[in-house]
Amino acid sequence: MSVMMQAGLALVAVVALTAIVWQVVPKGRLRTGLGLVSAVMVVLLVAVLIKLWF
């Protein structure tokens, strides 16, 4: 499996887990923290995909 495919699968996994957590965790500080962490992970994975693409 290529590195680009692994990065794409990781991106899909992060988005899916974030959606699940968003439904389960009530509003509050924990949900905000998890949202921030997942947003940073998504940005990093997109940056990796862009770097691998070009």
| pLDDT tens, residue by residue, 3-16 | 878 888 888 888 88
Q: What is the structure's pLDDT at 42?
A: 86
pLDDT in tens, 15-44: 888 888 888 888 888 888 888 888 888 888
Q: How many residues does the chain have?
A: 54
As a whole number of Å, the CA-based R_g of the chain is: 13
Q: What pLDDT sits at residue 54?
A: 81
How far is Cα 51 from Cα 33, in angstroms, rounded to an integer?
Answer: 27
Q: Can you give the pTM of this predicted structure?
A: 0.68
Interior CA angle at 23 toward 42 and 7, to 5°?
Answer: 20
Q: What pLDDT score was predicted for residue 49? A: 83
- pLDDT attached to residue 7: 84
